[in-house]
Amino acid sequence: MEQRFNERREVLKMTCKKYASKLSNTAIETLNSLYYSKDFNLLLCSVAKAGSSTMKNQLFRLQKGYYKDGNIHKLVHFLRANLRVGGIKEVKELMYRRKKNTTIMTARHPLDRLVSAYRDKYRDGQSRPKGKFINLAKNAVKRDTGGRNSRNITVTFTQFLQLVLNDQRGNVNNHWEPYYKVCTPCVLPYQYIFNTETLNEDFSYISQKIGANLEVDQSFHAHKTSGTTSNTTTTHYFHYYTFVDPDLLRKIYKVYQIDFEMFGYEVPEFLKRVL
């Protein structure tokens, strides 16, 4: 297992070096995604749609008085690193004390993550989007309908991808913001990179290592390819991209190219054909 994590760190290190001139050298925004368990000296960068609920749930279970009821994203607020550790300077100091602390970030195949966000926040195109996501959807659909009434809108996967592209111009929604921006791993030295495709194995190993002996909640489904631990997406999601315009696919890949490379994710054949 240590070899697995060493290999992931090496891939990340090489990618950071390759794109050094393009990447931010600050990690201030990452504070919003960091959580810390003082009892186990465990720091987590939580990435939306990449095992976030599962990992927050595990972190919460490490605390005394754990109970399961309630929205886990609200329950773990008291574990935010800016409340428990301090600013980015203090976080960096903590991360460099490797013998005392364990630091983790998570990643998922970028194409799987986008489908997961679409199915969750845009209800798989079957009904009106959730809460705050309706406004983003309205703008996307109005462009396609010539500004006609969008009160009862549903969003196609192609419209969602276009929405994701447009959102890159401003404050990117955390459910599809690239990992290298959310956790800034070229600035913050994470010891362990978890992949949702191997989340059970990754977490079980670290859990035993820190003496927590917790198991991942089996309700998490990463849709990994059966019988493999490689960083591939699965045919389970391929059909979502079948009728997406090649130019749009190329633009989506451009947004997540660094994530693909930094976390060793395979570019599927259907995407390779249009690049």
- Residue-wise pLDDT tens digits, 175-214: 999 999 999 999 999 999 999 999 999 999 999 999 887 7
My answer on whether 44 and 140 are in the same domain is no
Q: Are residues 251 and 138 in the same domain?
A: yes
Mean pLDDT, residues 117-127: 91
Does 217 fall in a domain? no
pLDDT in tens, 251-260: 999 999 999 9
CA dihedral 105, 106, 107, 108 (to 10 degrees): 180
Is 216 contained in some domain?
A: no
Same domain, 168 and 191: no
pLDDT at 144: 59
Instruction: Give the per-residue pLDDT at 142.
Output: 63
| Same domain, residue pair 15 and 26 | yes
35 assigned to some structural domain? yes
Q: What is the dihedral of CA 5, 36, 120, 260, to 10 degrees?
A: -30
**Do residue 101 and residue 122 come from a single domain?**
no
Q: Is residue 34 included in any domain, yes or no?
A: yes
Question: Which strand (E) or helix (H) includes residue 188?
Answer: none
- Is residue 147 left, alpha or beta, with left meaning phi > 0 and alpha meaning psi from -120 to 50? left
In this structure, is residue 11 part of a structural domain?
Answer: yes
Same domain, 22 and 85: yes
Check pLDDT > 60 for residue 120.
Answer: yes
**Do 9 and 125 reside in the same domain of the chain?**
no
For residue 225, tell me if it sits in a domain: no
104 and 123 part of one domain: no
Q: Are residues 153 and 254 in the same domain?
A: yes
Q: Is the dihedral of CA 147, 148, 151, 156 positive or negative?
A: negative
- pLDDT attached to residue 59: 85
pLDDT, tens digit, 9 for 90 and up, residues 130-181: 777 887 777 766 665 555 555 668 899 999 999 999 999 888 999 999 999 9
**Enclosing domain of residue 139:** 112-173+235-272
Predicted pLDDT of residue 224: 41
Query: How high is the pLDDT of residue 223?
Result: 43
Q: Rounded to two decimals, what is the model's pTM?
A: 0.88
Looking at per-residue pLDDT, the higher value among 212 and 222 belongs to 212
Domain count, the chain: 2
Domain co-membership, 11 together with 83: yes
Q: Read off the pLDDT of residues 33-92 as tens digits, 9 standing for 90 and up.
A: 999 998 899 999 999 999 998 898 888 888 765 555 566 666 778 888 988 899 999 999
Assess if residue 45 is contained within a domain.
yes
Q: Residue 220 above 50 pLDDT?
A: no
| Mean pLDDT confidence for 113-120 | 95
Q: Are residues 18 and 69 in the same domain?
A: yes
Q: Coil, strand, or helix at residue 258?
A: helix
- Same domain? For 9 and 133 the reply is no
Residue 159 in any domain: the answer is yes
